[in-house]
Amino acid sequence: MAVHLQIAEQVKNHRQAQKDFLALDAAREQAIEAVFQLAKAGKPFQTNEINQITNEMNQIATRFQFPARKQVTIEMINQFLTRN
């Protein structure tokens, strides 16, 4: 019986991690969009908030074998804007 409880707890933790990861992913996308808007407007921007969220996501990813996300650099933002 104890094994069943342990498995149930692991499944519960995994599902919660999935929810947390997806919520962080949505927040990261919003942060990226906000940075794009600033960059398009020619205003100064930083990627600190994006990368803070990315770090949180990657901590979860490491524990639960989810796909890791790359750190976003200012150069990446500028390259994306010049391509579009």
- Say how far apart CA 66 and CA 74 lie, in whole Å: 25
What token pair was written down for 51?
Answer: 């990368």
**Which residue intervals of 1-84 are DSSP H helices?**
2-40, 48-64, 74-83
Give per-residue pLDDT as tens, 2-51. 888 899 999 999 999 999 999 999 999 999 999 999 999 999 999 999 99
Domain count, the chain: 1
Residues spanned by the domain of 18: 2-83
Q: Could you tell me the pTM of the whole model?
A: 0.87
Give per-residue pLDDT as tens, 56-70. 999 999 999 999 999
What token pair was written down for 24?
Answer: 């962080």
